[in-house]
Structure 1
Amino acid sequence: REVFRKAKQAAPAIIFFDEIDAIAPVRGSGVGDSHVTERVISQLLTEMDGLEELRGVVVIAATNRPDIVDPALLRPGRFDKLLYIPPPDLEARKEILRIHTRRKPLADDVDLDEIAKQTEGYTGADLEAVCNTAVMLAIREHIAKSKSPEEAKKNAGNLKVYRRQFMEALKRVKPISRKELEMYKQISEEFARRLK
């Protein structure tokens, strides 16, 4: 209620619910505390359908499981548009990798174009995880090579993230499977048919 009140006061505003499936799963599905779930969904519906029009307030939600979002939220006037966002293409992956390595001390042997070519099917979050994993591997290696924590700290400015760490990160961070990707496409198509 408070979020909607503040958004109305600050309009124009956007309310964004990330992972709406965790907040408002299908009632009676056994996901979450049923009484809390009922109250949350009821409150969302009340605010979205409220007597006071949400003038200047846009409500957006994201999920990777639209199949378990309570159907009452997907009716016209609520979350009535569905956008399926597929994994990024090659150019988008390059840009995502650039963004997540912008302030990282990359060694000269790191080729982001090469990494982008090897990451088909990876989402933006997957690519971020690859970058973070490579950095953590580099930090661990730097500490292991140092004689003491003080030496590691003193030489932290020399730390670099090498290609080998990215290659190891790619082994550890896997994209969603083709099967899952197909499932999301089918769910998207099904919702698109329902909302027409």
Structure 2
Amino acid sequence: MTTQFPPTDLIDSDKSPLADADHDPVRIADALRSSPHITFVAPAAPGDETVRFRDAEGTGYQLSLTTVNPAPEAKRVAYPWDAVAAAIGNHPHFIRTALDQPPFGPLNLNAITAITRTGNEYTLTLTAAHHPGLDQEHAHRAEDIAYAADRLLASNPSDSERATAELLNYMAATWDTQDQPLRKHAQALARALRTQ
């Protein structure tokens, strides 16, 4: 027996649901479904103001979405303590991660409690570590990438070469945020361009 699916229309990039805030409840429901600690998530539709789910113990919850207009000058950054807590908390081996909160006073942003599925509990202490040698090496590599892009742009490039140079310039400008495989690819491309 074959299952027939309705035909899908091509997505119009000007009307893509990915850019539409009405679809955020659907995205939140999808994110909850990927958690091993949540057993049921009610279907959500674009424009919904609530998302309902049940945890592994059968307790039902309702998330209410309230739109907050951010300050126009607010800088959008991912804070390392939030990133660490979210990354570990989303790993299937861990059942809980949270920033340590003292009974009173300011939130401690340098300590994260993590509990494993096997019952081990850890306090993770976040310490900023600056490595002058490593930072200088990263800056040097980014400069090499930017230099290769500049050489390519100065050689009356074709459209594809111009696109390659723009990509290399982007990699150089965002070097600290790129992962290691992308850095290696950018370095290999820069080396190949230098030998031409």
Higher relative contact order (CA 8 A, sep 6+): 1
Structure with more of its chain in strand, by fraction: 2
Give me the TM-score of the superposition, normalised by structure 1: 0.25
Structure with more of its chain in helix, by fraction: 1
